[in-house]
C-alpha cells in the first residue's frame, strides 16, 4: 500500500515488531472527538449545522507570566450547562447530550442532571428533537436513545425506581449507531429512520 507521504508499506500483512494490529475497538478517540468529527463532516457535506455548545465560564484570576501568554488561575461556571450539542438537521432543531460509561451492564442516571432533563423536555414540547448518544466503552457500542425513553426511566427513578437504565433496555429501545470512516458516529441515519 502506498501512503500519502509516498512511502510504501514495509510489510503487506504483519504488524510492526512489538506492536499488534490496530483493533477496531481501540481507536483512541473519545465519544466527543468522534461526534465533533462527524459534525464537521455533516457541515462540509452540507447535511447539517450542529455544534458543541460552549460552557459559559466566569474568569476570576489571570496570571501573565509573559507578555505573550496568559494563564487562567481561577474560574467558575456561570451557570449549569444544558446539553452538549445543538443545531439544525433537515429543517428541524436538534439538541442532544453525549455520555460515555465504563459500566458494561447499565447506564447510571447519575450521569444526567435534572436541568438537562427539563431542558430536553422543553425542546420536545416546542417541536425540536432531543436525544442522548450513549457509548458503552467496554463494549465499544454507541446508541442513540430518544429522550422520551430516558424520561420514563428518569421519572421512575424519582418515584423510587432503579437508578440506572439496563443495557438490555438501551439495546432494545435505543438505536445502535454504526461506526463509519467519515461520519464516525453517523447518528443522522438513525434520525432519518425515526423522524423523516
Domain locations along the chain: 34-195
pLDDT for res 146 = 97
Give the per-residue pLDDT at 136.
97
Query: Within a 13 Å sphere around the CA of 169, how many CA atoms are in the beta-carbon half?
Result: 13
pLDDT of the residue at 48: 98
Q: Please give the Cα distance from 138 to 140 (Å, whole number).
A: 6
* pLDDT score recorded for residue 165: 97
pLDDT at position 79: 59
Instruction: Consult the annotation and say whether 40 binds a ligand.
Output: no
Instruction: Please tell me the predicted confidence (pLDDT) of residue 18.
Output: 43
Phi, psi of 142 (to 5 degrees): -125, 135
CATH topology of domain 34-195: Trna Endonuclease; Chain: A, domain 1 (3.40.1350)
Residue 24: per-residue pLDDT: 39
Q: Within a 10 A sphere around the Cβ of 152, how many other Cβ atoms?
A: 14
pTM for this predicted structure: 0.76
Give the pLDDT score at 21.
36
Low-confidence spans in the chain with pLDDT less than 50: 1-28
Q: Is 82 annotated as a binding residue?
A: yes
Interatomic CA distance for residues 90 and 47, integer angstroms: 7
Any binding-site annotation on 84? yes
Q: What pLDDT sits at residue 153?
A: 97
Residue range 36-49, pLDDT digits in tens: 999 999 999 999 99
Amino acid at each position: 500500500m502506498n501512503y500519502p507521504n509516498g512511502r510504501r508499506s514495509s510489510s503487506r500483512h504483519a504488524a510492526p515488531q512489538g506492536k499488534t494490529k490496530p483493533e477496531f475497538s481501540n481507536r483512541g478517540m473519545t465519544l466527543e472527538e468522534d461526534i465533533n468529527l462527524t459534525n464537521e463532516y455533516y457541515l462540509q457535506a452540507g447535511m447539517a449545522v450542529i455544534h458543541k455548545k460552549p460552557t459559559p465560564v466566569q474568569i476570576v484570576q489571570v496570571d501573565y507570566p509573559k507578555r505573550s501568554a496568559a494563564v487562567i488561575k481561577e474560574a467558575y461556571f456561570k451557570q449549569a450547562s444544558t446539553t452538549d450539542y445543538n443545531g439544525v438537521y433537515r429543517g428541524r432543531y436538534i439538541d442532544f447530550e453525549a455520555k460515555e460509561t465504563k459500566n458494561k451492564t447499565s447506564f447510571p442516571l447519575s450521569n444526567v442532571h435534572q436541568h438537562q432533563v427539563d431542558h430536553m423536555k422543553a425542546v420536545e414540547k416546542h417541536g425540536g428533537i432531543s436525544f442522548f448518544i450513549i457509548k458503552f466503552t467496554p463494549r465499544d457500542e454507541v446508541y442513540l436513545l430518544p429522550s422520551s425513553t430516558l424520561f420514563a426511566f428518569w421519572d421512575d427513578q424519582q418515584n423510587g425506581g432503579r437508578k440506572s437504565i439496563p443495557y438490555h433496555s438501551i439495546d432494545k429501545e435505543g438505536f445502535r449507531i454504526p461506526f463509519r470512516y467519515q461520519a464516525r458516529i453517523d447518528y443522522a441515519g438513525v434520525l432519518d429512520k425515526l423522524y423523516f
